Amino acid sequence: MIGCGTVGSGVLDLLQRREEDLTRLLGRPIRVVRIVVRNPSKPRHHLASLISSGVEISGEPRRVTRDPGVELVVELAGGRDEPKTWILDAIEHGRDVVTANKATLAFHGAELFAQARAKRRCIYYEASVAAAIPIIEMLSNGLVANQMTSLSAILNGTCNYILTRMEFANLDYSAALAEAQAKGFAEADPTLDVSGGDSAHKLALLAGIVTRSHIPVESIYTEGLERITREDMEFVRQFNYSIKMLAIAKRNDQGSWELRVHPTLIPRSEILAQVRDEFNAVYMKGDAVGPMLIYGKGAGGLPTASSVVADIVRAAKGERGTPNAHMGVTPALVPIERIELRNYIRMTVLDVPGVLGRITSFFGMRHISISSIHQPEARVNQPVPVVLLTHKTSEHVVAEALRDLETARLLTRAPTRIRIEE
């Protein structure tokens, strides 16, 4: 095992709790041989019994990746580029690898999976997406008979926690973020999460399985949730929508895929809108199964460790059913500009006579069809929000209109646009 933080400790805990069961299931025990940590001289009381039973604590990854007594390398160190060299080294030396490292796989997956194929080794990575939820197994095995046609997922617990608190506790973004940080659901530097970057890493992995190919992270359109305000939440609630940070993969009739991560309005009656707090969920459709949803904890030591141990068991059974075999070319992707979506647009205008007419004709001229418009009462000459929902409109048309709005002197502040999915 390389890395022994929250997840690693969870794995050791579960291996111990389930020792008898797993030994009976596999016909042999799972034995931890070595643990590599950054600072091996730091006292680790929770490892005391392992150390006294002969487990070596080392600072040198090669003690694990190259030891002939090691059958399986479990990489739980985190980071992006360094783990790549360990995984490659392990494969090079004939070991299978279990990893929970979405960033490494999303950025170096093409190289790692190709190397695993060449050496007939296997990389197991269930824990890298949505922690406890066995979504990778499900897409790779359970739904193998399906052409998946779409996938809409809540893959980042930090974002979902923030949005839940904004929606139900009326907090603004920064208060919700501060609360998430205090509760351990957000990092001190939350950028990777709130920017959608982490969701994009995970979507790249899931879309890779679904399209049986390699998806570069850079090909996923990604937008963060930092600009959503309490005012947006209030409007959205009024219209019976929720805002969720969704990672979306959709296949069109030509077999091309749109891949995107952004805050999204979804009807409150949708089952995804019921996914609250730090939970994750994946809603998907296949040509045989129709719609399906899976929901569970998307972070945390034990939930993640549950999937790591499942992978260890799979490896011990010699099951090689991962989609690695497919990882090859990138499928045709639909650029974001070519997608048509409904939109929520919130603008702030000076409440002067005729302003609503000027707004609607601004959008009318650009062939953006408005499905509804809302303006609360306000005092004349005071800034007032105007919210409109559009019918399906090409992204490039909306983008152009939003750019034009900035120079049109209609608004007192930059507008907020959030995409809608039904």
**Contacting a second copy within 22-61 (CB under 8 A):** 22, 24-25
The catalytically annotated residue of 84, 119, 183, 202 is: 202
| The three-state (H, E, C) secondary structure of 260-282, written as one string | EEEEEEEECCCHHHHCCCCEEEE
The single residue among 2, 98, 143, 206 that binds a second copy, judged by CB under 8 A, is: 143
412 binds a second copy (CB under 8 A): no
Identify whether the C-beta of residue 370 lies closer than 8 Å to the C-beta of residue 356: no
Per CB under 8 A, 408 contacts a second copy: no
Candidate list 132, 194, 233, 243; residue touching a second copy; CB under 8 A: 132
Q: Residue 144 CB, nearest distance to a second copy (Å)?
A: 5
| Residue 320 within binding range of a second copy, rule CB under 8 A | yes
Range 147-176, binding a second copy (CB under 8 A)? 147
Token pair belonging to 42: 């730091």
Q: Alpha-carbon distance 83 to 11, whole Å?
A: 18
Max CA separation in the chain (angstroms): 81
Active site residue 202: yes
Q: To the nearest whole angstrom, how small is the minimum distance from the Cβ of residue 282 to a second copy?
A: 10
10 Å CB burial of residue 306 (0-12, 13-18, 19+) is buried
Would you say 394 and 359 are in contact if contact means Cβ atoms under 8 Å apart? no
**Residues near a second copy (CB under 8 A), total:** 52
Contact 348, 413 (CB under 8 A): yes
Q: Is residue 307 close enough to count as binding a second copy by CB under 8 A? A: yes
Smallest gap from Cβ 258 to a second copy, in A, equals: 21
Q: Which residue in the set 187, 231, 319, 400 belongs to the binding site for a second copy (CB under 8 A)?
A: 319
- Pick the piece of the chain touching a second copy (CB under 8 A) from 59-67, 137-145, 225-233, 366-374: 137-145
Residue 121 near residue 97, CB atoms below 8 Å: yes
Q: Is 118 in the site for a second copy (CB under 8 A)?
A: no
DSSP string, 52-114: HTTPEEES-THHHHS-TT-SEEEE----SSHHHHHHHHHHHTT-EEEE--HHHHHHHHHHHHH
319 burial level (CB within 10 Å; 0-12, 13-18, 19+): middle
* Region from 127-135, 236-244, 329-337, 394-402 binding a second copy, contact rule CB under 8 A: 127-135
Q: Is 422 in the site for a second copy (CB under 8 A)?
A: no
Contact window for a second copy (CB under 8 A) among 47-55, 94-102, 229-237, 296-304: 296-304
Is residue 112 a contact partner of residue 102, using CB atoms and an 8 Å limit?
no
Phi, psi of 246 (to 5 degrees): -110, 140
Contacts of 34 (CB under 8 A, 6+ apart): 1, 55, 56, 57, 58, 63, 64, 67, 70
Please say which residue, 137 or 421, places its beta carbon nearer to a second copy.
Answer: 137
Pick the closer one to a second copy by CB: 111 or 287: 287
Q: Is residue 141 involved in binding a second copy (CB under 8 A)?
A: yes
Q: Which of 302, 327, 336, 341 binds a second copy (CB under 8 A)?
A: 302
Catalytic residues: 202
User: What does the binding site for a second copy look like in residue numbers (CB under 8 A)?
Assistant: 10, 14, 17-18, 21-22, 24-25, 126, 132-134, 137-138, 141-147, 212, 271, 274, 286-297, 300, 302-303, 305-307, 309-310, 313-314, 317, 319-321, 325-326
